[in-house]
Amino acid sequence: MDIAIIAVLLIAAVILFLVELFVIPGISIAGILAGGCYLFANYYAFTRLGMTGGFVTLGISAVACVGSLIWFMRSKTLDRISLKTDIPGSVDRSAEQSVQVGDTGITQTRLALVGQANIAGHLVEVTSADGFLDEKTPVVVVRITGGTIFVSRNA
């Protein structure tokens, strides 16, 4: 009976461990319960079966944990549950391409380093080169690097 209890606890621990690792990432109830099952199974084995039975259970626990991880990674289960959808859309960058260095405009939102501004009649996302800028502040484009428009206060 003791071996059946230990076996059930180890099987539950392996299942909860795999659920924690692949279904519910992070530290959750499944991970805590898996750790508890492993610990209790080994504690139970050491107290009921002695030192030899405890160390055998400890070895089986380690092999079961690593073996189930390797088996699950090699199985097609991950392929069946993983997302394979591509997002076909793209961001419209035509407004950013029409903005040139030296163009002036006015901020539409507060620039807490990044925000929106109306530059040359186009509403674009800009980055402040001067730090924080309030909305409705006149700005000038100082540089464009890698699609990022940098603006500073227009004095």
The answer to the question of residue 139 being in a domain is: yes
Can you read off the two tokens belonging to residue 137? 């502040």
Full domain range(s) for residue 138: 96-153
Residue 151 and residue 128 in contact, taking contact as beta carbons nearer than 8 Å: yes
- pTM equals 0.51
Task: Identify whether residues 109 and 42 lie together within a single domain.
Answer: no
pLDDT score of 136: 92
Tell me the C-alpha distance between 136 and 108, whole Å. Answer: 6
Residue 33 lies in a domain: yes
One pLDDT digit (tens) per residue for the chain, 155 residues: 888 999 999 999 999 988 888 788 777 898 899 999 999 999 999 999 999 999 999 999 999 888 888 888 888 777 777 778 887 877 666 666 788 888 999 999 999 889 999 998 888 889 998 888 999 999 999 988 877 889 999 87
What gap in Å lies between CA 153 and CA 117, rounded to an integer? 12
Supply the pLDDT for residue 91.
Answer: 67
Instruction: Indicate if the alpha-carbon torsion angle 132, 144, 126, 106 is positive or negative.
Output: positive
Which residues on neighbouring strands pair with residue 106, listed in sequence order? 118, 138
Q: What is the DSSP string of 67-117?
A: HHHHHHHHSTHHHHHS-----------HHHHH--TT-EEEESS-BSSEEEE
Which of 80, 111, 128 is at the close of a domain? Answer: 80
Q: Are residues 76 and 104 in the same domain?
A: no
Parallel, antiparallel or unpaired: strands 122-128 and 138-145: unpaired
Q: Is residue 24 part of a domain?
A: yes
Q: DSSP characters for 118-154?
A: EETTEEEEEEESSS-B-TT-EEEEEEEETTEEEEEE-
Based on the fold, state whether residues 67 and 134 are members of the same structural domain.
Answer: no
CA dist 81 and 22 (Å) reads 10
> Residue 118: what residue type?
N
